[in-house]
Structure formats: C-alpha cells, structure tokens
Structure 1
C-alpha cells in the first residue's frame, strides 16, 4: 500500500497478481477521537487466466475408412474465463456443423476446462487433410491451436475413357481405366457382358475391328485394393450404316379397303423415316415407320420408304399397293425360228390376285407337255411366268399361239406368232448379181435404141382427128379381185348356179375361160387357206373335201366360195366375210349365233350347212369358260 496521511492517499498495489487475488476489496478508515470510522465501496478484482494449449485427444494422425463417422475431441484447460474452441478445416475455414462444446469447473472454482467435440463423416476428399482445433479467451490476444492429420482409406474410384469418341464399324478402340484408391496398390480386370476378357489385367484394353454385333455390349472395368472393389461400366455404341429389318411388301386390296405398308431398319444413330409415292422424292407423304393408305384407283401405285440415319448414307425400298382386278397378260409377239430348231414362247400374267395358271392353245386345241412341247410355269416377282418350249420345229408348228390367264376378277390373253426365219445369207450376192444384170441389160437396150433411131428416116407427125373416139377395155377393175393363174376373178358377185362359169352367159367369158383348165392349181391354193379365229374363247377348224379336187370346182362348188366372199352369222355377228347362203332345214348347232367355216349358225339355235356342200366338219372350243362343244355333221 502506498501513500501517506498527509496526502490522504492510500493505494493498494498487488504484484504479481495471483488467482487468489481474484476477490472483492474494500478500503476502511478506523475511528479516531471524535471521528467515526468509514468504509469505501467494494472493488472487484477479476483475475483472468489464459487457457492451456488445446489438445486433440485423437492424436496427431488419424487413420480411418471412408464413410465412417468419427468424433474428434479437443480440450483446453484452466482458462479463466473458459476458453472458446474453434474447429478449422484444411483451408482454415471454421467448421460449424457437428460441433459441440462442454465447460467444466476446476476444483478452485475459478478456472474452467473447455471440451469441444467435432462429429464428422470421413470422405475421400478428407484424405491427407488437417483438422485444426483453436482455443482462446480474453486473457490472450492470439489463440492457441493444434491439428490432426487425416488418413482416409477408401476403395478405388474408377473412371473409364475411350478413343476415338465416335466408334465406327471396322475401326479399333482403346479403353483406359483410371483408379483413385487408398491404398494405391490395385488390380484390374475387364469384362464384356459380364464375361471376363482373358489375359487383360492392365489399365488399358484395345478392341480391334469393331462390328455392329458389339453395339450395345456392356464393357466393365473392375479395380480392387485391400479396402474394397469398385467398377465402372460403359455401353459400347458403334456407328454403323442402316440394315433392313423389315422391308415394305406389296399389298393388294379392294377399293375402299385400308392397306398398311411398314418398314424398319437397324442403324446407329437411329434413323428417320420418310415415305414417297410414285418416285416423287420432292413430296414427303409420311414420316413414320408405318403408312396406311385407303386403296382406290388414285392411291394405287409405288410407295418408297427412305431410311436416313445421321452420318450415314440413306437406303430405300419400295412396294406396290395394288387394286384387285383382272389380270394383264403380256409376252412375246413374234418369234422367228428355223426348221428343226427349238424355240421358247414367253408369256407373263400379272394381276391381283396373281393368276394360278396359264393356258396355251393353238387353233382351239389345248396344248400340254408332250414329246415336242414342254410348258414350264413359275411365279416370279408377283407375276406368273410361262414358257412354251417347242422342240424340232416343223412347218406345221408355224402360226398363232394363244396364252390365256384368269383370276377371280376376269380373264386376259395374248397371242404369239411363230414364223419361219428367213435365210439372208445369199441375199447380198444375189442382189449384187441382179443389180449387175439389170445394169447390163439397160446398157444394151439404150445402145440398141440409139442404133435403131440412127438408121430410121425422119417421119412426119400426124395429128389425130379430134372426132375420133378412143376406146379401152371395159373390164371392171375392182380392188376385191382374186388373182389366179394371171387371171382376175371378182370376189364380190353373188352366187348363181345358172350362170357360174358358163361362157355364154358370163359377162367375163374371155377372162374366165382358163379357169377350167387351171382348176387343180386353184384347188391347191385354197387348200392352204386356214381360218384364223383370234377370239381366245373360240376357235374353229373346217374342211371341205369338194375344194380339194378339180371335180368340185368344175361342178360349180368352187365358184360358190370364190365369189361368195366368205360366210357370216345369220344375225351378222362374228361373221367371216359377207355372204350368207340359203339355209335348208335340218341339222343342229350352237345357239350363240357364231358361224365359222362351212356352217351358218342361226339365232334360233339351229346350225345348217351351206348350199351345195356335201361333207363338212365343225369344231368350236370355249376354253376360258371351262366347257367345250364339238359337232360333226
């Protein structure tokens, strides 16, 4: 205590201050004679004590597994007032979450211990990081600290890389597996679709000659250390061009029905679809895999599905939507062949539905497989194909062949003409010889004419009398004349037995005088004339023995055919020529009013022979209607 009575100053100095000095102090003045004692107010002396350096009870290093929750404890003792503890991470950023503090009084009742607990789940990122505990109270201006280093052990963390970025079919690919692990001693395994790749234990895997069968396969890299195992997977995506899975197919339907075309292709990246009609690729009519069309005459046709994958060339395929109807028959028109050679007559029938059979006929007779005939039928590209093979062609094979097909909706036919191929090997030298001969002949004629004119005397021209009447042969020139033996014979005269070929009564006696002398030759000409019926449903053959002898011609029968111009039906339908002979009663025939050869069919269902005919044949076929009728009289 310092001061004096004279100064009236009594100061209490405490040095050094001890904890025990933390108390209440009062200044008292004792009583004196005539003066009562006095006391001052209490003065409080607060003694602060800095805390001891903090201690982390877990030690300086902590080895812990990833994911485990640990509690770090930091204690600061003897502080007065109690120390405040702060946790700092590796970047000296205060940690607030998971912190709890406890203050304990020491036995002296003045100092205190502070205990702080940090509860934390260990992460891979905490490995090799420091956690700091910092303690401070008002007795110190600089806090005290201590740290602990974390060693977090964890299984491998795997990442998978590959190159090139776009894997294409036929190329090689390199895959690299990177692993972050503690401890760092790891092993590698590779699996494709859960099947281990043999002898591959490095971090790199090379796949050679990629193909689309590997597209979508799952590649897996497995890395393991003593803590655990980790893996990384990758779905292999290989860029490859489109391949058809489902092409559009031809469809047929009746009018008003719906027809659906579908197309599907496999590619990577997945393709887009577009539909076009009748090769008009400027107008897209649909962009889906399926196309539905209401069938009619305007919508039938060719439809094309175009598949366009990104990065690859597009592909396309077409199909037809067809309206059901009768068939269409086509094929060879004219076939030339030499004698004793073989030839093929082609016929094709298209239709919806496709015809089931093709029938070959000739002159009304159904053709079938035999020694020289062979018919081969097959279906190709939704059409029925038929080939009639004729071996060792004979003169009798030449003519018209009928090819007929039918389906539920109708019938169609086509004809093929088989004819002899002309041999032109001698035409060139023959033409050269003829040309040379003609040239020489003209040369000598001109030379002779010139010589003749040189020898003739000049003559006086005489003008004709203008009143003189010039006459010519009045023989009628008709375009419908048959030339026989250099004689002309009218074909448009009606038949009259009383005047036929009679020199005294015929106005053309001089012109027809040689007919009797050439009757045999004329009969030979008519014997080779055949009736050719083009209607595929009917055909007829006929023969008249009286046309094959001179007797028949001389007796007047031949004149009946040469002047009649043919025969016709009683009602004028399906007639051949323009003449209808008288019809005696008797006989029978078809009632369809068709007439062929020597017969005239009546509309009433009778068939009568032509006048003056002694013996005739009649055959009619109705192939396509499935029935036939043959009559012989």
Structure 2
C-alpha cells in the first residue's frame, strides 16, 4: 500500500532555505481481543486473554476465518496430550501451541490479518474467544521522486514527491523546512514560498518503537582502494566511491589519469592489469555536484629480473662462463642463489670443472613479491682414466679389475683380451694396460725357467768337453806330421817336452 505526499515551492526572493519532509507511523494500543504483530516475526495469539484453563478442560481447538468467511481448523490440543495440527493449507507448517495454549504463527505476513478463534471445551461448558490480528510492516523503500533539477523565479515548481512504499498501515508524511513542519492542503500537497538558489529538501520517516529512517543529500564523499596488500604491477585494482546520502547515490564520476568516467548503478570501478606507470592520485565525485569529491593515492610495486644465460648451457672443462644478473625494483630487493637446492654465493666461472655442473637458480624478493630465473650448466670433457687396479676376489679364485675414468658425456668402457681399458666419448678417448696373471701360471713359469737353466747348463758342459777333446786331437796330429819332423828334427825331445807333455 503506497501513500504519496506532494510538495510545491513558490520562488519569491533571493534568500536560500532548506526543508525537511517527515512522516510518522503510529502503533495504537489494542484491546485484549486484538493483537498487533510485526511483519516477519512470530505472532503470539492468547487464548481467553491468557487466563488459565478450567479444571475440567477436555480440549482446546484453534480455528480461523478464511478469506471467503468460512471457518478453517488449525489445531486441537487435548488435555495431557500432544497437539494435532489439522490445517492443510499454508498454516500447516507455520502454526503451533505453547504450554499456555497460546497459538504461535511464525513469519507473520499481511495475509495473517484476520480473526483467530480459541474454542475451549470443558465437561460443563464450551466457550469461544475470537482474537483479531493486525500486522505492521515498515516501508520497503523511502524515496524522493521527481526531484526538480532547476527552480525558476516567480514560477511554482514541484521540488519532489515523497514516497513510502509497502507500509502497513499507510505512513503519515510531513515535509519540514528548517525543522518546522509545512502545512498540507486538502490534496496532501505542501507549498511554501522560496527563492533562488535551488533549495535542498530532505525528509524523515519516523515509526515509533520500530525504526527510524533518514533521507538526506550527501554531505561527504569517500574513496576506498579495495586491496588486501601492496598493489603489484599486473594486479586488478578496484576503487569504491561512497557518499553518506540517504538513499545512497546511484552514479559516480571516477577520475582516472585525467579522464572522467561515469559509472551508473554501481559504486566501484576496476583498473585491470595495472601498470607501474599507473601510480598517482585517483578521484571520484557526484554527477550532480562534482565539487563533492574524494581522492586516494595509489603506489604500484614492481620487480623485474633478467638472467643471462638461461636454460641449458653446455661447456667444456677449462672454459670460462660469464653469468650476468640484472634487476629493477620499486624498492629494496634481496638477491639469493641456489645450486641444486643448496644456498651458494653468486657463481663466477673462470675455469670450469666437472664439479661446477648443476642447476643454478637466482631468486629476487621485495616484500611479498618474488621473481626467479635459472640455468642448467653441463660441463663436458674428454674422458681420462683416473685409475686401473687389480685385486683378488673374496673367494680367492678370481682377480677383479677396476677401471675408473672421468668424462662428460659418460664414457663408454671397453676392455680387450690383453686387458687394456679403453674409454671414449664424442670428445676423445684414452687407454691403459694392466698385467694380469694367475698364481698357477707364475709357478709353471718358474719351473720352466728352472728346466731351461738345467738344460742350458748341460749343453754348456758338453761343449766344454768337446772343445777340450778337439784341441787334444789337433795337437796330436801336429806333432806327428813329416814336415814338422824335418823342421825340427834336432829338437824332437824339446817338442815332446814343450808341446806334447
């Protein structure tokens, strides 16, 4: 149910004034056979004014008057027994009874404004106690409609229409000017002479004991930056504008970097993927009064990290590698390095070794912002045999050869029949030979050497004997020859003495 109030102004002079419109919602004191309830709350309907039941009570029955005037049953409660709900319509889930036989109706609506009857049946009597229900409801909206944008001198102008919708009973509306009520004509219109500049009016809704509502033009505007933490480059930032008027404004101007944007039916504006150059002052204002404005400053945090090299880096043993890290931040940043997950100093490579290989990660932090870059260093080199050893196995029946080599990519091992270890990769190769023999073979070699020595000794002895025999025979032939006899005939005895003795 709506109740309307109209206000007219007659401009006569250059004096300014302000006005108020007020209306009152009054709750009356009802008789004992009537109950006043509040919309949405539980209605308590007393039976017989709350008097205690008779001693010879048989049962109590609650019923109500339907829209067509016929009676409808709600529930029945026999003495010393549980109540039985008899309603089959919307009341079936809403009615109950308490220990004092009061009827309880949950979630009161305007449709509950009807008569409910408590029928008390005793052994000796039957009485009915009707109770009338009145439900009060506050307005669902409070507005000034048809507001005038411009007032003209010496011309009657309707400033606005004061509306209180859905109130029950209908609200009484009164306009006030400077705290004093304006008189209404027989049509419910309020008129008073006024002057330029345009007048500002407000109105007051006053419902005693229930609620007060005040509608006034905005006097203060505030701007809020909706962000849980520091604003980081790339974030979405929402600005919220608020004015203290009642009802609240439905449109705002947002001033973004010198550009004015009108937002209607909302009080927020979102900056998407904000950049580092977006920092500065932001404002919002009211479309009908741009002098009513508020401002906030925004600081955008940013952090950049550049690392060279990145990805997978392949180098050779002995090479150098230059690592360059650059950062750009809006504040003080902290740099840390890790190699294979362990904290290390900033890497410097003047002569690479195999131990330099690994995954390096650079992390730069500033407040709650973090940036990371990484590279994987692979150090390659020609394989080099670092060890070739032999040792007897645990059972003593075998010899174990161990060939150790260092190189990247991983070397391929090859051992030939002469027990030479070969290692190679795409960068080169290496080899090393080891002498391997069994104990039994060594013993056989020693025996063979002994036999050879004996044989050689025997051969040498036979040669000496043969030589002596040959010399003997040679000397014997010489002494007996004719020539030798003729030449040395005179010396035979000397020959025999000197050469044949």
| Alignment TM-score, normalising by the size of structure 2 | 0.29
Larger Rg: 1
Instruction: Identify the structure with the greater strand proportion.
Output: 2
Tell which has more relative contact order, 1 or 2 (C-alpha 8 A, sep 6+): 2
